[in-house]
Amino acid sequence: MVFDTIAAIATAPGGAIGIIRVSGQNAIQAVSQIFHPANGISFLNCPPRMLVYGTLSTRDGKILDQCMAVRFLGDKTYTGEDMAELQLHGSPAVLSETLSALFALGVRQANAGEFTRRAFLNGKLGLMEAEAVADLIAAQTLEAAGNAAGQLSGTIGSHMAEIRQKLVALSAHFLAVVDYPDEEIQPFQMQQMIQTLSETAEKVRQLYDSYETGRILREGLPCAILGRPNVGKSTLLNALAGFDRAIVTEIPGTTRDMIEEVVRIGALCLRLQDTAGLRDTNDPVEKIGVERARLAAKNAGLVLAVIDGSQPLTDADLDVLKQASESPRAVVVVNKCDKPTEVKIPEGFPYIVTISAKQRVGLDKLKTALLECAGLSGAVFDGGMITNARQAEALLRAADACKQAEEAAHIGFSPDAVLMDVETAIAALGELTGQNVREDIISDIFRRFCVGK
């Protein structure tokens, strides 16, 4: 597949070094007109995959920078077409002028994700591997990066392609028997079909079931710290953040608006929200803060319900626990264990941790509980988790279609009727791996990428 030539800055602004990536049939030719190797050899004749030192010129031939350049040939490149990269000083002016010089030579600005899109269209990456590139760039934890790297290497994509091929072979075998009855083709075995469909549905469903945990790994969790005034919510935020992010005083109602901080606990990225203490108040400003705290708890993926362990439960504490019980995930934090314990938590909360946020006691147990509550404790991050909603939806359709085909075969439907569901599963898996996917879906996927990747 032949495309025009594109270029983009491939590094974040503000660095000492900036990289401009060029790809397309005229990539090397264009770069050779503005980059001149110090050894006097034309860039066109420099060895591929070898950095070359030289000078960079503007559109009118003035020296702009001293830099390095490298060229890559054909199908051995990321995009599957000729590429060149310029490694310049990171000045925005230098990078901008270099792009202008390339554009004057007929190169155009790359769109978001266009390099990876070309890699997919040229068969260098499957669609799942291409989406893993975006996950790797956006990874907020080492574990998320490891899972994305595993997917990039084809951990899931190749496995799904094999499963799809089994279904294709199943369908092809039946059609061959029907279309060529006089040929010596092994008879179609309904029991074999049922077994294949059952195994396929199970494998695909297992992968789909990893999505919720994978989504948390990729996106993290919004986490509301909920409690009545002066139970230690802000102190807990500071303890988890590792520095004094929130103001802590003995005066009730100090926290009136939400304070947010991102905290990484192993594989889990928590977007902590320290909220106003839940209580009845006539203060109009504090009342708004309380309302926002309730809304934060309602929208949070996880609630930390903080209770003062040195006092018996109050009506406000019971209100906090009720809010926590309505959350999809909740950890009850019994704070102030450095004082005599007076509290008893009602049954129904699987995660209850006793700590002293002020003394930094029990934080390791809390972090363990948070990982378990999020489903990330003991997980393997080798690329086997689905993190993408599009992929999860395609897997669900494929699993459902296989199950429907299996059930239809069990109750005696004819093979051709069963294979209608098999074809549905094949199509869904093809969308997953990119073997058959609509152009609008492809465009939407790569539109989410950054420019330069």
pLDDT tens for each residue of 34-55:
999 999 999 999 999 999 999 9
Rounded to an integer, what distance in angstroms lies between the CA atom of residue 145 and that of residue 264?
14
The percent of residues above 90 in pLDDT, for the chain, comes to 54
Residue 160 CA to residue 437 CA, distance in Å, equals 15
| Rounded-to-integer distance, Cα 264 and Cα 250, Å | 28
Task: Please give the residue that has the higher pLDDT: either 291 or 214.
Answer: 214
Tell me what pLDDT residue 247 has. 44
Task: Give residue 148's pLDDT band: very low, low, confident or very high (50, 70, 90).
Answer: very high
Residue type, 91: S
Crossing angle, helix 127-138 and helix 157-179, to 10 degrees? 160
Mean of the pLDDT values across residues 380-389? 91
The predicted pLDDT at position 283 comes to 67
The per-residue pLDDT of the chain, averaged, comes to 87
**Rounded Cα–Cα distance for residues 224 and 260 (Å):** 9
Q: Is the pTM of this model over 0.85?
A: no
Neighbours of 440 (CB within 10 A): 8
Q: Is the pLDDT of residue 185 over 50?
A: no
- Give pLDDT tens digits for 311-332: 999 999 998 999 999 999 999 9
**Dist. CA 2–CA 24, nearest whole Å:** 8
pLDDT at position 433? 85
Angle between helices 363-373 and 233-241 (to 10 degrees): 90
213 Cβ neighbours under 8 A, 6+ residues apart = 374, 375, 376, 379, 385
Q: Looking at residues 177-192, what average pLDDT do you find?
A: 56
Confidence of residue 250 (pLDDT cuts 50, 70, 90): low
Tens digit of each residue's pLDDT (9 = 90 or more) over 254-267: 444 567 889 999 99
Q: In 10 A of CB 382, how many CB atoms?
A: 13
Tokens read off for 237: 């935020």
Helices in 252-329 by DSSP H: which ranges? 284-299, 315-325
How far, in Å, CA of 49 to CA of 409, rounded? 56
pLDDT at res. 251: 44
pLDDT band of 243, cuts 50, 70, 90: low
Q: H-helix or E-strand containing 354?
A: strand 352-354
